[in-house]
RNA sequence: GCCUAGGUAGCUCAGCUGGUUAGAGCACUCGGUUCAUACCCGGGUUGUCGGCGGUUCGAGUCCGCCCCUAGGCACCA
């Protein structure tokens, strides 16, 4: 059994912009990696960038650069993010790294030789804009359902990975290993997915269509599908290679944990694990899919700076350590969380300033004031000290178990509980009374315990808040290395040596409070909220998903009309005033209303309009509208529409065009 | 309409495989203390655990139906 700990983040898409989601995953990985290092386990922590694929190719072309040069340029921002967050990765892998390309090539060849990959021809509708195939029935009016762009029918030959044959085996594995996909709700999700049946996976792209990728070793006309390429980074990161593996690579494999966002669960839990099965490699111990940060009500952000604003702004205002603490403490890893600046401020003030920071400060200042500023000796523990010692020991146990289970939230609550007990202890022992009454020995014992408790808290928090914890250690006359030694000793002793890590007689320093309290929201954040609506139209902070949706909506928006048309073109459109007589919901579509509109003809027109999001049927009856009267009728989800209504609003309908004129009147 | 998550104190959320009077933090309030960053400690208030049925000796916890919210998918001439 290997004692090593190998943890990964997803490799991030190099074209993208680092945002809160990336920061979150990476901080979590960094914290657990650092904790494992502290406990003495050999650790490898891998992160990096995903650099192949169509969009990179296009972006590079737009800039007149080679794809690689473009990536070299883009990767800087990712490395900068890592630096800002003080991420202590062991390797930053890029899918364009030579060793990775070599691994991918060799793995493909091996799988090809083993008949795990086959060649097949099929016909489908390809959308260049969406980079994917659609079946006939997916298409909307013969166009790409995602982007609305034209599609072309392509008969194509590609290479397929025999993923389907591993479906049963994978289900059995997941059922036999409850921890292999976490949290458990995600595990059920994957099982549900597998029960529907697993097909084979297309893993190539013809170069004629897309050339930026790793060439298929057995066919120079193709490159590797980006996911197949990208997932293998986890193996490259160990030193694995089918032909020439680095010595000891298998001490790192299987990975202890792949941390991922819940959006890429299937690729990891299904594609990646079946790939490993085909490769004959053991499967990762845990794939942990965490949740998203959702913007709370009333959140605003700068429009131009995108989502990066959140993390950078938090770091700027509250410091990196507090930011790292907040992410891991505020919500359970795995669940979605609501983010608000007020919540952050409250968490900071309560946990860090009032409780932890203040405990340290009061402990240190009393020691300085009454005991000469050195770590005092302890003598004759009373029940209070015994109880504190027991709590300290159990805190270490809880913290360790929680960190191992990636339950950061629980680990940090345990520290908070310890700090709370420390504050309570001080109040109960009343060291100020002891000092007044000249009970020096007892005072020394109490102060020693308070300082020891701070030392333990700093020790446990070191992986989470490297700077602040080191600062606190320094105030106590200790170093991070001392803390690491202490932690190992604590774990070895089951926590019984807790509260015995300081050296009597060592000088302590009070200095400034560790976490200054914020009376009000820091200016740069407050400014976000104070900005006048007109000048900086506030946009809600968006989650990754919401952004995705927005992006798609933008793509779906009808293409801008030609800049200029002739009068003759306009004259082709017959616009008439209409009056809505009846309105009801479409029986089979939630966004559509079916209207009867009088346009001055013998019988009213039936018009189907996509305005349900804005109007209830009753809102419209009697309303005068403008109708495009000579539009060819169309069937909309089974109901005929004999015209359309003029409406204001781009992607979202804001209002209908109204006029004060009788039905049937021409609009020109 | 379909698919996923959820709906527990004013707010943010814990409540694992069903078991004593349903919890925490924040907020609020009363009291204590004064070493400390107007901080800390103690007490207190608030809940038809979304609704209705069901299984059970017993359900926030399991089952069914329904309602609502957030995402995703379809539809938006």
CB of A513 under 7 A from strand B? yes
CB of A556 under 7 A from strand B? yes
State the Cα–Cα distance between residues A464 and A30, nearest whole angstrom.
8
- Which residues in range 410-429 of chain A are in contact with strand B, contact meaning CB within 7 A of any of its atoms? 420, 423-424, 426-428
Closest-approach nucleotide to residue A589, Cα vs C1': B75
A457 near A356, Cβ under 8 Å? yes
A111 near A220, Cβ under 8 Å? no
State the Cα–Cα distance between residues A190 and A174, nearest whole angstrom.
9
Token pair for A522: 């820091």
The yes-or-no verdict on residue A589 having pLDDT over 50 is yes
pLDDT at A19: 81
CB of A654 under 7 A from strand B? no
pLDDT at A638: 67
DSSP-derived 3-state class of residue A667: strand
Interatomic CA–C1' length for residue A468 and nucleotide B9, angstroms:
35
- Which residues in range 447-506 of chain A are in contact with strand B, contact meaning CB within 7 A of any of its atoms? none
Closest-approach nucleotide to residue A331, Cα vs C1': B13
pLDDT at A133: 65
The yes-or-no verdict on residue A319 having pLDDT over 70 is yes
Tell me the pairing of strands A293-295 and A201-202: unpaired
Closest-approach nucleotide to residue A369, Cα vs C1': B35
Q: Is the pLDDT higher at A187 or at A164? A: A164
Query: Rg for chain A (alpha carbons), in Å?
Result: 31
Interatomic CA–C1' length for residue A432 and nucleotide B42, angstroms:
19
Whole-number percent of chain A with pLDDT over 70: 84
Distance (Å) of CA A556 to CA A16, A465, A613: 21, 44, 17
The yes-or-no verdict on residue A449 having pLDDT over 70 is yes
CB of A140 under 7 A from strand B? yes
* A305: phi then psi, degrees, rounded to nearest 5: -85, -10
- Which residues in range 233-252 of chain A are in contact with strand B, contact meaning CB within 7 A of any of its atoms? none
CB of A354 under 7 A from strand B? yes
Q: Lowest-confidence range among A253-262, A340-349, A525-534? A: A525-534
Residue A655's pLDDT band (boundaries 50, 70, 90)? confident
Token pair for A655: 């209002």
A544 near A292, Cβ under 8 Å? yes
A185 near A193, Cβ under 8 Å? no
CB of A106 under 7 A from strand B? no
Per-residue model confidence as pLDDT tens digits over A222-278? 999 888 999 999 999 999 999 999 999 999 999 999 998 877 888 898 899 999 999
State the Cα–Cα distance between residues A420 and A426, nearest whole angstrom.
10
**Average pLDDT across chain A, whole number:** 84
Per-residue model confidence as pLDDT tens digits over A115-155? 999 999 877 777 666 566 666 655 555 666 555 566 777 78
State the Cα–Cα distance between residues A9 and A468, nearest whole angstrom.
25
Q: Is the pLDDT higher at A510 or at A140? A: A510
Residue A532's pLDDT band (boundaries 50, 70, 90)? very low
Exposure string of A543-567, with b = 16+ CB inside 10 Å and e = fewer, is bbeeeeeeeeeeeeeeeeeeeeeee
The yes-or-no verdict on residue A587 having pLDDT over 80 is no
Angle at A365 between CA A364 and CA A366, to 5 degrees: 95
Interatomic CA–C1' length for residue A135 and nucleotide B28, angstroms:
60
User: Crossing angle, helix A320-330 and helix A408-429, to 10 degrees?
Assistant: 110
E strand map for A564-665: 575-585, 593-598, 605-609, 624-628, 634-636, 639-641, 644-645, 647-648, 655-656
- Which residues in range 309-338 of chain A are in contact with strand B, contact meaning CB within 7 A of any of its atoms? 330-332, 335-338
Interatomic CA–C1' length for residue A426 and nucleotide B34, angstroms:
12
State the Cα–Cα distance between residues A96 and A82, nearest whole angstrom.
19
Angle at A614 between CA A610 and CA A618, to 5 degrees: 95
Whole-number percent of chain A with pLDDT over 90: 49
Q: What is the mean pLDDT of residues A361-369?
A: 97
**What's the number of CA atoms in the CB half-sphere (13 Å) around residue A387?**
9
**What's the number of CA atoms in the CB half-sphere (13 Å) around residue A345?**
13
Q: Is the pLDDT higher at A618 or at A24? A: A24
Interatomic CA–C1' length for residue A141 and nucleotide B77, angstroms:
11
Q: Is the pLDDT higher at A532 or at A262? A: A262
* Amino acid whose CA is nearest the C1' of B14: A332
* 3-class SS letters over A499-544: CCCCCCCCECCCCCCCCCCCCCCCHHHHHHHHCCCCCCCCECCCCH
DSSP-derived 3-state class of residue A450: helix
CB of A631 under 7 A from strand B? yes
Residue A104 CA from chain centroid, whole number: 26
Exposure string of A150-165, with b = 16+ CB inside 10 Å and e = fewer, is ebeeeebebbbbbbee
CB of A545 under 7 A from strand B? yes
Interatomic CA–C1' length for residue A592 and nucleotide B67, angstroms:
23
Q: Is the pLDDT higher at A93 or at A263? A: A93
- Which residues in range 5-24 of chain A are in contact with strand B, contact meaning CB within 7 A of any of its atoms? none
User: What's the pTM?
Assistant: 0.80
H-type helices in A280-382, by residue range?
A: 308-318, 320-330, 341-347, 358-370
Place of tokens 């007589």: A581
User: Crossing angle, helix A408-429 and helix A383-404, to 10 degrees?
Assistant: 170
Q: Which residues pair with A202 in a beta bridge?
A: A160
Q: Lowest-confidence range among A7-11, A167-171, A634-638? A: A634-638
CB of A42 under 7 A from strand B? no
Residue A107's pLDDT band (boundaries 50, 70, 90)? very high
CB of A430 under 7 A from strand B? yes
Which nucleotides in chain B lie less than 7 Å from some protein C-beta?
A: 1, 4-6, 12-15, 25-27, 32-42, 70-77
ipTM confidence: 0.84
Residues in chain A: 668
Per-residue model confidence as pLDDT tens digits over A450-492? 999 999 999 999 999 999 999 999 999 999 999 999 999 999 9
CB of A185 under 7 A from strand B? yes
Q: Is the pLDDT higher at A583 or at A435? A: A435
Q: Is the pLDDT higher at A555 or at A496? A: A496
State the Cα–Cα distance between residues A321 and A414, nearest whole angstrom.
18
State the Cα–Cα distance between residues A61 and A352, nearest whole angstrom.
49
CB of A610 under 7 A from strand B? yes
CB of A559 under 7 A from strand B? no
State the Cα–Cα distance between residues A313 and A528, nearest whole angstrom.
11
pLDDT at A191: 75
């Amino acid at each position: 059994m290997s004692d090593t700990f190998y943890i990964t983040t997803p490799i991030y898409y190099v074209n993208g912009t680092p945002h809160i989601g990336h920061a979150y995953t990476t901080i979590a990985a960094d914290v657990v990696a650092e904790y494992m290092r502290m406990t003495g386990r050999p650790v490898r922590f891998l992160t990096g960038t995903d650099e192949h694929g169509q969009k990179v190719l296009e972006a590079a072309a737009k800039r007149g650069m080679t794809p690689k040069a473009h990536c070299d340029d883009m990767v800087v921002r990712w490395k900068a993010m890592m630096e800002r967050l003080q991420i202590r990765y062991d390797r930053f892998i890029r899918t364009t790294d030579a060793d990775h390309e070599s691994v991918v090539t060799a793995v493909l060849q091996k799988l090809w030789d083993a008949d795990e990959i086959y060649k097949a021809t099929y016909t489908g509708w390809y959308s260049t804009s969406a980079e994917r195939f659609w079946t006939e029935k997916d298409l909307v009016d013969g166009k790409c359902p995602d982007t609305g762009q034209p599609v072309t029918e392509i008969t194509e030959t590609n290479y397929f990975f025999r993923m389907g044959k591993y479906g049963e085996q994978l289900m059995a594995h997941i059922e036999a290993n409850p921890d292999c996909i976490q949290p458990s709700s995600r595990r059920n999700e994957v099982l549900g997915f597998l029960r529907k049946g697993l097909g084979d996976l297309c893993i190539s792209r013809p170069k004629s269509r897309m050339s930026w990728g790793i060439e298929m070793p057995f066919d120079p006309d193709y490159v590797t599908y980006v996911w197949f390429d990208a997932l293998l980074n986890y193996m490259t990161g160990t030193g694995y290679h089918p032909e020439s593996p680095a010595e000891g690579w298998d001490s790192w494999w299987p990975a202890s944990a792949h941390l991922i966002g819940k959006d890429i669960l299937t690729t990891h839990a299904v594609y990646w694990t079946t790939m490993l099965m085909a490769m004959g490699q053991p499967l990762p111990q845990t794939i942990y899919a965490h949740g998203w940060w959702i913007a709370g009500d009333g959140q605003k952000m700068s429009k131009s700076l995108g989502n990066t604003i959140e993390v950078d702004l938090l770091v700027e205002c509250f410091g990196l350590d507090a930011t790292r603490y907040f992410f891991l403490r505020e919500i359970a890893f795995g669940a979605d969380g609501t983010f608000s600046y007020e919540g952050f401020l409250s968490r900071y003030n309560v946990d860090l300033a009032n409780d932890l920071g203040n405990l340290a400060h009061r402990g240190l200042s009393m020691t300085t004031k009454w005991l000469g500023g050195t770590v005092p000796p302890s003598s004759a523990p009373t029940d209070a000290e015994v109880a504190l010692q027991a709590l300290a020991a159990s805190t270490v146990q809880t913290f360790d178990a929680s960190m191992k289970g990636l339950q950061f939230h629980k680990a940090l609550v345990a520290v908070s509980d310890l700090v709370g007990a420390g504050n309570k202890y001080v109040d109960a022992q009343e060291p100020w009374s002891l000092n007044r009454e000249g009970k020096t020995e007892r005072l020394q014992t109490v102060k020693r315990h308070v300082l020891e408790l701070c030392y333990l808290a700093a020790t446990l928090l070191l992986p989470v808040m490297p700077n602040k914890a080191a600062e606190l250690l320094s105030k106590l006359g200790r170093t991070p290395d001392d803390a690491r030694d202490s932690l190992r000793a604590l774990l070895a002793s089951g926590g019984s040596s807790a509260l015995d890590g300081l050296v009597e007689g060592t000088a302590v320093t009070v200095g400034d409070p560790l976490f200054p309290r914020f009376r009000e929201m820091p200016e740069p954040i407050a400014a976000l909220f104070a900005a006048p609506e007109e000048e900086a139209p506030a946009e809600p902070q968006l989650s990754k998903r919401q952004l995705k949706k927005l992006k798609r909506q933008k793509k779906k928006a009808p293409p801008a009309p030609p800049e200029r048309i002739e009068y003759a073109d306009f004259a082709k459109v017959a616009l008439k005033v209409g009056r809505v007589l009846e309105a009801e919901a479409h029986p089979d579509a939630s966004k559509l209303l079916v209207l009867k509109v009088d346009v001055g003809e013998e019988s009213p027109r039936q018009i189907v309009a996509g305005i349900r999001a804005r109007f209830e049927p009753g809102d419209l009856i009697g309303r005068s509208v403008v109708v495009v009267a000579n539009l060819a009728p169309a069937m909309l989800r089974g109901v005929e529409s004999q015209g359309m209504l003029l409406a204001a609003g781009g992607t979202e309908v804001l209002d209908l065009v109204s006029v004060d004129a009788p039905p049937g009147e021409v609009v020109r």
